[in-house]
Structure 1
Amino acid sequence: MVQGHNLDIFQILLDSSIVVKIDLLLLVAASVLSWTIIFQKLSAFKKAERANNDFKNFFSGVTSLEEAYHDAQTIEESPLKRVFLSGYRELKKTEIALGENYAAIKEHYASIANQSMERTLSNEVVEVDQTMSSNLTTLASIGSITPFVGLFGTVWGIIDSFSGLASGGATLETVAPGIAEALVATAVGLVAAIPATWYFNKFGQRRNKLREQLHIFSNQFINEVERYISSKS
């Protein structure tokens, strides 16, 4: 090992025990996986938020649900579009079931159909939420576990370093590289954990905001359905 005050960290790691090397490899793999998920989710949330804004601008300019459904086919896929299409198809199923008798449909919606529509929209919101939250649990696990993996490497390295003291004759210069090797494991664990934890919290905030948008739009869509049925009847 390198002795003296000028410690070569890379040489120290090359000379480290097999347990510490495996520990560091696990931490590096976790960090790579973490950043892969982070970049994927950044892209997914950015795309969903942009598409939602486009759909809201589009939906505010349409004059009827039929027009919205027809023109929505040319709009980029978005969570709001998914909720709208799901609700519109449920409305059409009700029209077909009652033979487009809008007086009966209005009465039907005044009794139990609104619950059916709410369930349909709620189910779609849950599916969108599940899509947007995919891999977030992995990110959270990396953020919570990697510090302990790094700590394990540190503890093992310190035990290995101080075991040499039992034979006598050890000096600070001979023990220091082993301690440095051990502390590197903790540092790498923190490097892996901090971005994973930070982005997990950020994505959680964006996910909650998206879910609120979907619930608001669901209520707006139900109001549009009620106006649509009233105009037909």
Structure 2
Amino acid sequence: MTPILMLQEAATQALPEQAPAQTVEIADQAGQAADAAAAAGHFNILDLILHASIPVQLVMLLLLFASIASWLIIFRKKRVLDRADKEAEKFEERFWSGAELSKLYSGATERGRSAEGLEAIFEAGFREFNRIRQRRGVDSRIQLEGAQRAMRATSSRELDGLEHNLEFLASVGSISPYVGLFGTVWGIMISFQGLANVKEATIATVAPGISEALIATAMGLFAAIPAVWAYNRFATKVERISTRYDAFSEEFSSILQRQAHADE
């Protein structure tokens, strides 16, 4: 047998023995790569928070409290505004149903019951109108102006109660992203500072610190977005209620003006 034929036969016999070993090695490498990808895709947020630096943890705690307080205000403010809207609608139905003003006033001043919203505005205006009317020789214009002042003051108090805590939502919505950004900048600064003692810096070295820092920004957005949405929605609703109060005050002033002229 010639040397060439002997080499071809040896290569043909060695190929089937090496192929399975190479296949197993490639499969092991692929499995390790898949495991590494799976581990990188499933991280524990709680571990990142607990291993963050103390300033970043304080920032996260502050944002958590701001978010909880915002949600409490959101639920409470929604209930208050919905109740004010429903009470205004019910009182307008009674007012324009043809009931006597004296009966409406008696119902608003019942013992153990406090008037709110439109009913409080009506009660203040009608009380001041009757008080001035009892004086002798008082001009009808003075009666009307006194009733209007009383209604404006009561309307301002009612709107102030409806707007209570809205400024907190505005502050959380505008400040929280910057507070979270401060935590992120601080965490990244600490991560890069730790590279001073490392000879060979890789992405794996700084990745955990950067991940911890970025959670602060995420928490800032989590606190800010609902607060901004709620503030815009509630501010618009308070503005509509304010317009409703003003319209009622003008219409009731017209009624009082006609009654004052009738008394003359």
Unaligned runs of 5+ residues in structure 1 are 99-103
- Which amino acid counterpart does residue 21 of structure 1 have in structure 2? Q
Gaps of 5+ in 2: 1-36
Change (3 A) 1:63 1:5: closer
How far has the Cα of 1:200 moved from its partner?
Answer: 0.6
Question: Does 2:61 align with 1:31?
Answer: no
Give the distance between the partners of 1:147 and 1:19, measured in 2 at CA: 16
| Higher-RCO chain (CA-CA 8 Å, sequence separation at least 6) | 1
Name the amino acid aligned to 1:192.
Answer: A
For residue 95 of structure 1, report the CA deviation from its aligned partner. 2.0
- Cα deviation for residue 227 of structure 1 reads 2.3
CA root-mean-square deviation: 1.9
Mapped contact 2:144–2:256 kept (Cα < 8 A): no
Aligned residues: 223
Number of the residue aligned with 2:48: 12
Q: TM (normalized to structure 1)?
A: 0.89
Identity %: 36
Provide the rounded CA distance (Å) in 1 between the counterparts of 2:125 and 2:65: 43
Q: Deviation at 1:135?
A: 0.6
Residue in structure 2 matching 1:65, options 92, 101, 114: 101
* Corresponding residue of 1:201: 232
- Residues 37-52 of structure 1 mapped to structure 2, 5 A cutoff: 37-52=73-88
Larger Rg over CA atoms? 2
- Is residue 140–residue 261 contact of structure 2 (8 Å, CA) maintained in 1? no
**Structure 2 counterparts to residues 58-97 of structure 1, below 5 A:** 58-73=94-109, 77-97=115-135
Q: Retained in 2: the 8 A contact 1:80–1:214?
A: yes
Secondary structure of 2:98 counterpart: coil
CA contact (8 A) 1:142 1:193 kept: yes
Q: Is 1:153 the equivalent of 2:174?
A: no
- Counterpart position of 1:220: 251
- Partner of 1:13: helix, strand, or coil? helix
2:101 partner letter: L
Deviation at 1:113, TM superposition (A): 3.4
Residue 83 of structure 1 contacts residue 124 of structure 1 at CA under 8 Å; is this kept in 2?
Answer: yes
1:162 equivalent in alignment to 2:162: no
Q: Measure the CA separation in 2 of the matches of 1:127 and 1:39.
A: 22
1:115-170 Cα offsets, whole Å, 9 max, x none, are: 32222111111111111111111111111111111001000010011112222233
- Displacement, 1:72? 3.7
Provide the C-alpha distance between the structure 1 equivalents of 2:176 and 2:250, rounded to a whole number of angstroms.
Answer: 42
Partner of 2:168: 138
Tell me, yes or no, if the aligned pair for 2:129 and 2:143 is still in contact at 8 Å: no
- The Cα of 1:73 is off from its aligned counterpart by 4.8
Pairwise CA distance, 1:230: 3.2
1:62 and 1:68 in contact (8 A); partners too: no
